[in-house]
Structure 1
Amino acid sequence: MFRLFGILIFGLLLSACQVLSSTAAKDSVPMAGGSYRLYPGWPGPDQQWLQHIQWRNGTKTHEFMLSASLTEHSILLVGMSPLGQELWRLSYDETGGLQTAGVEPFNDPEFASRVLAEMQLALLPMELLEPRLTKLRMTEALTSNYQRRLIDAEGGEVLSIIWKGEPEPQRLIELTQAHYQLIITTLEVEML
């Protein structure tokens, strides 16, 4: 754990001055031969969330805290170490401006836009998502857990989203796709 934390801090120090900004066509996120057009804000009341994230990539597991500020006109995500130090930041607003800063891979605008797209696919109402999908479709089922699946044009699963556990704020969400898995536990939700 201390070794991972040291690597993250070293990476943060190396990239602390690096800020990437991109507005050209970043509202459309390519996914499995199709795309999802990012939603430019939050459709409900303005909120601040605190979440615990486990990010599994192959045999590696990374854990961090995520602060999410969700407003009608913008989204701000800030990843923090377990000790509260900022590791990365992602902001997106209604002008289509995506800005990222911090450690890899979160400072890569393509990766960051994919993370934001997957967050929106998990949280936004289906009626907002469907018109934003091109050559993709979303299914939704309520079994013992609430589940969504993003399907490509050939019928293959691109992304699986499963909501588990008790109602908010201790909601557990698992997002699984070919390259990584996110396990998100919402610890606190505050209305702004």
Structure 2
Amino acid sequence: MYLIAGLGNPTREYEKTRHNVGFEAIDILADKAGTTVTDKKHKALYGKGYIGGQKVILAKPQTYMNLSGESIREIADFYKIEPENIIILCDDINLSEGQLRIRLKGSAGGHNGLKNIISHLGTQEFPRIRIGVGEKPRGMDLADYVLGRFPKEQQAAMEEAYRDAAEAACMMIEDGADAAMNHYNRKNKENS
């Protein structure tokens, strides 16, 4: 069994912001897994489905970004899911808009949601798919940037990134993480 969690902030106020790209990718994954992410439990909206014959729990933690680990830990404990089967989808300001980077482990890299998950799981060894939202403009407050929305000219690239992130998560489950990393991490290099 896998847990795939998209990070973001709850409430309409934060919909479509840079910080909520994980939620957007989860919505696309829900279609692929034949479920909806609308049940409320474990401090999250969640749904159960199948990807590549594997049972998956899809989750959108409702704790706000900086406390995402509370929900992730609760779900992982309840369903007895090991960290290596927890895939996190989140934003990354160090990647250009729409670029993906898949890692099997690593530090939080300054991302407070990942930092909280690492704290609650007690390990950095869980896969994550980082979705690039672009670097914040000089002089702009980081919170204002990540809680801002994408300009019209970037929206099509971001929609493609959400689909790619969902496909990458499926590939990690169906073909293994190495296949997904080889495909998506290389695709980024070719496009840069």
TM-score > 0.5 by shorter chain: no
Which is greater in Rg? 1
The structure richer in helix per residue is 2
More strand by share: 1
> Normalising by structure 1, what TM-score?
0.29
**TM-score with structure 2 setting the length:** 0.29
